[in-house]
Each structure stands twice: as C-alpha cells, then as structure tokens.
C-alpha cells in the first residue's frame, strides 16, 4: 500500500445488511482487508463521542458500504444568484478520508462517516436512461466525495471510465486531491474522461488539506494521466488569502505548467473561499489554530460567507494573470459561482458574450 494512499487511514468498515450479498460490496471488503461489521437499516450508527470534533475524528477512519436509494444523477446545486456551469453531479458516495479545514461537508454532522454506494447496477441503469436522450452532458463525481481517494479498494474508475467511453455525448470528470491514478492506466477512455485536481498554494495544501497528496504528488499523477491520453482539469478553489499568497499561487501555477503539457488541459476554474455560516464554528472546533476564518466576510446572495468584492477581485486578477502566461486558447478558464461584474472586471468579458458559461465548457469538453 502506497504511503500516499488515502485508504490507509481507514480502520474499520460498516456494511449495510442488504448490501452484503452483492458482488461489488464483497469485492471491496476483500481488497480493503479491514475488520467489518454489519448494521441493519439504511443508516450506520453514529459514533458515541460526546462532541462533534470527536465524532468526526472517528468517522474519518470508518467506511460505510451502503445502498443508495436516491437519484444518483442530479444537476449541480448552484444558485441562480451566480453564474453556474451546467454541471451534472453523479452521486457515488459521501465524504472522504482526507480532511480539509475548509470542507463544507463538515456541516453534515448527521452523517460524518465515509460512505460508498455499492448498488452500482442501479447507478448504471439510471445513467443509461439519462444519457439515452443524446444531450451533451458534463458529469462529475467529485461534489460530495473525492473521485479517486478510495479507488484502490473500490475500483470504481474501472466501471465508470469504460461506461462513459461508449457515450459520445457525455464527458466524465473525476476530481481528486489524491494521486491514486494507477487504475486508470489501461482503461479505454476514448477521450470521454477528464481527470481533475484541486490545487492551492503550497502553504494551504500543507496546513489545511490534511491527508491529501502533496503538490508534487498531484502533478506527477496528472502527468501520468496526460501520458495515458486523458485530458486534464484543475480547480483553484478555494483561493484563500494568507501570508505570502501571491508567491504561493505563483509557485503552484509555475509548477503545474512545468509538470503537464498546457495543451492537455481542458479547463481551469477559479473560486474564492466561501462557506455557510455554520461551517466556521465547526471548523474552528476541529481546527482551532486555523487562521483562514479570521478575515472579514460578507453574506453573499447565496447565503454563504465570502470575501469582500475588492479582495476577491484582487485574488482573481493575480491568479488569472499568472495563468494567462501559460494557458492555450483552447483551455477554458472560468469562475465558479461568481457574477457578471466579476467576470468583466477580471477577464474583460461576460460569459453571455460567448454563448454562456455552459457553452464555453461544452466547447472545451468536445473540442473540434
């Protein structure tokens, strides 16, 4: 097992009783080789720790194999107040063994454990119906979990990548903070899977993205994927104000383009730190030394706390200008959940002038 493998942090597995007979569930148990117990019903039992911090600490080492009864395929939960990219979310699990100080999933205190949904036949059946419509779709599995952190034991990539390879109108984005890409090496992807990494300054990655791969590990993994013919994407989100942030983000951008060919990058997103008000107290309870919540914030139109607009613009202008030194015209650089005014002030145009943000990303997903 690799030292950089996030699954090494797991200590036990809880298995929903109705899942135990399934081949996929049993395969995960064999590969994980960890103690496991069965729980009845649909929800694993909460840990008995008295406070939320203790419950989260224990849950981060617990994997729950569950039967998902909701819709696997949903539109990204954006808001009408900010421009959304038209992304579609594929629910494959919830939470991950990595532990980011700013992670919004910490607000879901009713289910802090790491869940993997094992009724894969239901997921594929639902996808088949949706994709039969023939509409172009950009689909990602990294909204509520890391797409590859547990791939050593789930091997979900070996199911999803070949599935999407057979659907010309769909592109799958696997987003991760890990370096677990070896299972992707020999898969037939047909150009329909994009491997994506969240990136930040070295300081933020070291202090606030606990158990995640280092910058060097992520970029080495990205280079491997480029060599295997995958297109890549990168997400500078959340951009965080901290001491030396300009030099930190400059270093990461320079390292990125030194490691991977610019022509392999389909898109790069930018998004400043934003969070629901409830997250601050939870995060400070778990990580009392973190300085990232000490800045002044305003309440955004979506109810999330954000930096004041001049600070966001300052962040965006710096990172965008650094990216412009390296990106090709075919790479779509875009904002995640910002308004037209920010777009014009930083990039000099509004997405509507280019057919809308969804159309911009569709062109990057299906280049001529």
Can you give the pLDDT of all 368 residues of the chain as single tens digits? 565 789 999 999 999 999 999 999 999 999 999 999 998 876 676 555 545 556 777 788 999 999 999 999 886 665 555 455 667 899 999 999 999 999 999 887 666 789 999 999 999 999 999 999 888 899 999 789 999 999 999 999 999 999 999 999 999 999 999 999 999 999 999 999 999 999 999 999 999 999 999 999 999 999 999 999 999 999 999 999 999 999 999 999 999 999 999 999 999 999 999 999 999 999 999 999 999 999 999 998 888 999 999 999 999 999 999 999 999 999 999 998 898 999 999 999 999 999 999 999 999 999 86
User: Long-range contacts for 279-288 (Cβ within 8 Å, ≥24 apart)?
Assistant: 279/102, 279/104, 279/106, 279/107, 280/305, 282/52, 282/106, 282/107, 282/109, 283/101, 283/102, 283/106, 285/51, 285/52, 285/53, 286/52, 286/53, 286/56, 286/57, 286/101, 286/106, 287/101, 287/208
| Total-model pTM | 0.94
How far the first Cα of the chain sits from its last, in Å, is 41
Q: Show the domains of the chain with their CATH numbers.
A: 72-110+120-365 (3.80.30.30)
């Amino acid at each position: 097992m690799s030292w950089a493998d996030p699954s090494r942090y797991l200590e036990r597995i809880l298995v929903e009783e109705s899942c135990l007979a399934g081949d996929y569930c049993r395969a995960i148990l064999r590969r994980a080789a960890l103690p496991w117990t069965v729980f009845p019903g649909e929800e694993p039992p909460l840990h008995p720790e008295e406070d939320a911090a203790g419950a989260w600490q224990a849950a981060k080492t617990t994997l729950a194999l569950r039967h998902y009864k909701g819709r696997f395929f949903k539109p990204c939960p954006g808001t009408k107040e900010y421009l959304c990219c038209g992304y579609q979310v594929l629910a494959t699990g919830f939470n991950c063994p990595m532990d980011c100080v700013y992670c919004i999933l910490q607000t879901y205190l009713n289910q802090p454990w790491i869940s993997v949904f094992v009724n894969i036949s239901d997921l594929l059946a639902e996808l088949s119906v949706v994709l039969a419509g023939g509409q172009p779709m950009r689909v990602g599995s990294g909204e509520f979990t890391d797409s590859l952190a547990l791939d050593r034991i789930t091997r979900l990539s070996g199911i999803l990548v070949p599935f999407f390879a057979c659907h010309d109108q769909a592109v799958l984005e696997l987003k991760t903070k890990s370096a677990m890409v070896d299972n992707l090496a020999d898969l037939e992807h047909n150009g329909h899977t994009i491997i994506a990494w969240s990136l930040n300054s070295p300081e933020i990655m070291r202090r606030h993205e606990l158990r995640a791969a280092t910058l060097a590990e992520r970029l080495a993994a990205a280079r491997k994927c480029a060599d295997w013919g995958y297109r890549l994407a990168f997400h500078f989100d959340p951009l965080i104000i901290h001491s030396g942030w300009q030099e930190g983000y400059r270093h990461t951008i320079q390292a990125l383009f030194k490691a991977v060919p610019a022509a392999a990058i389909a898109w790069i997103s930018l998004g400043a730190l934003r969070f629901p008000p409830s997250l601050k107290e939870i995060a400070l309870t778990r990580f009392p030394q973190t300085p990232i919540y000490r800045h002044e914030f305003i309440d955004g139109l979506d109810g999330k706390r954000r930096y004041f607009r001049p600070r966001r613009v300052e962040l965006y202008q710096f990172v965008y200008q650094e990216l412009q030194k390296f990106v090709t015209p075919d790479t779509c650089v875009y904002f995640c959940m910002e308004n037209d005014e920010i777009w014009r002030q930083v990039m000099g145009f509004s997405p509507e002038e280019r057919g809308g943000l969804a159309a911009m990303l569709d062109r990057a997903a299906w280049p001529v």
